[in-house]
Amino acid sequence: MSSQKKRDQLILHTALTAGRIMIENGSEIERVEDTMTRIAHNAGAETSQLFVMITGILMAINGEVGAQIQPVKRRTFDLEKIAVVNQLSREFAAHDITLRQFADKLDHLDSETKYFPMWAQLLAAAMVSGPLEVVFRHNLHDFWISCFVGMIGWLVFYLLNKFIQIRFLSEFAGAATIGILAVFAVHLGLGLSVDDIIIGGVMPLVPGVPITNSVRDVLAGNLVSGPARAVEALVSAAAIGFGIAMVLQFL
């Protein structure tokens, strides 16, 4: 293989990996296109053609290698990785790192996950539920029980997501847990209003990333990926709704 061909191969590999990491972790399509074009341009490719969708990327640059496809299989929300790719792309544009280093760092980033520790995430789930219950419903009495119910609901959601990996089932189970706990809490006299506890408790499960991204994608003219994300958000919301509705119907 000639060195030019190797170089082109590396450019394609780097740009496609960067794009895949960004889509997998919840970036909007326009940013992915922008970053990949910049990487190719800064690496010395004269032209680049891109086709980015939420389930896969197709990219070609001028030169000796053909176009390549990168499927996007899983989808999680880890916005730190998007920020890191963004930062690496800036460093590459400023010639602080070489293309080879960039590719290595991306491969490394892909394999590691640096979430907040578990206790911090549980605390965060509690701190989404309780304060929003007070903000929405002005019911200070149910603050602590909302925190607790929201935390347990989110824990169920998290564990199911991690070990079973059936999409939308985890939202359903989390919401059902929240509903059952809220009804029992009121039965036991720990809370005043089932409605308020449930409203606070489901807030950590709200699909915030797909909602925001679907609006931004549609506005940027990505008429395939935008509605696809909107469907994702709607099905998540519907799963939460079914979980709550089932509990309210039976208890």
Residues 6+ apart with CB under 8 A from 245: none
Alpha helical stretches, state H, the chain: 3-24, 29-42, 79-93, 99-111, 118-137, 143-163, 169-187, 194-201, 208-219, 225-250
Angle at 61 between CA 96 and CA 98, to 5 degrees: 15
Residue from 74, 81, 72 nearest 110 by CA: 81
* Of residues 44, 69, 46, 73, the one with CA closest to residue 59: 69
- 107 contacts 136 by C-beta, under 8 angstroms: no
| Token output for 41 | 């341009």
Number of residues in the chain: 251
- Confirm or reject binding of residue 93 to other proteins (CB under 8 A): no
Contact with other proteins (CB under 8 A): which of 21, 82, 88, 185?
Answer: 82
Tell me the β-bridge partners of 49.
60
**Least distance to other proteins from the beta carbon of 111, Å?**
16
144 contributes a contact to other proteins by CB under 8 A = no
In the bound state with other proteins, the residue whose beta carbon lies nearer, of 59 and 240, is 240
User: Among residue numbers 15 through 54, which ones bind other proteins (CB under 8 A)?
Assistant: 26-28, 31
Q: State in angstroms the smallest separation of the CB of 9 from other proteins.
A: 28
CB closer to other proteins, 56 vs 131: 131
Q: What string marks each residue from 175 to 204 as x (binds other proteins by CB under 8 A) or -? A: --------------------x--xx--xxx
Please, which residue, 77 or 144, has the CB nearer to other proteins?
77
Footprint of other proteins (CB under 8 A): 26-28, 31, 77-80, 82-83, 86, 90, 114-116, 120-121, 123-128, 130-132, 134-138, 140, 154, 195, 198-199, 202-204, 206, 208-209, 211-213, 215-216, 219, 237, 241, 244-246, 248-249
